[in-house]
Amino acid sequence: MMMSGNPITKSNSSFGELPSTGFVRMKALLPPHGPIPASRATIYAWIRAGVFPSPVSIGTGRIKGFRVEDVRAFLQHPSTAQPNGRQANSIKPSMSRDR
């Protein structure tokens, strides 16, 4: 559920589906309610490898979020999504938790 006029998804919201546009914070992507069954460390490893979208600054502060469109592209094709504009590589996210 999103607040009216606010493009940022709140982390305590029900996350049955992503909003159609806007930004989501890392916490909203992670288990138990997020759509990506991976740890924060795994997502940052995917960002470094270029297979997950990089977060963008929201406003003038230190707040960062992910473009919903980029996250959707990753979820539809996790092994081929290249939101950072890099060439496809052999790293394929396992979509499982680190342990």
71 and 18 Cβ atoms separated by less than 8 Å: yes
Let me know how long the chain is.
Answer: 99
| Secondary structure (DSSP) of 8-28 | EEPTTS--SS--SSSEE-HHH
DSSP annotation of 86 reads P
Q: How far apart are CA 51 and CA 88, in angstroms?
A: 8
Question: For residues 65 and 7, what is the distance between their CA atoms, to the nearest angstrom?
Answer: 11
Residue 75: CA count within 13 A, CB half-sphere: 15
Residue 85, φ and ψ in degrees, nearest 5: 75, 15
Domain segments of the chain as ranges: 18-76
Does the model's pTM come out above 0.95?
no
Q: What is the pLDDT along the chain (99 residues), one digit of tens a residue?
A: 344 444 443 433 334 478 888 999 999 999 888 899 899 999 999 999 999 999 999 988 889 999 999 999 898 887 765 545 444 444 455 555 554
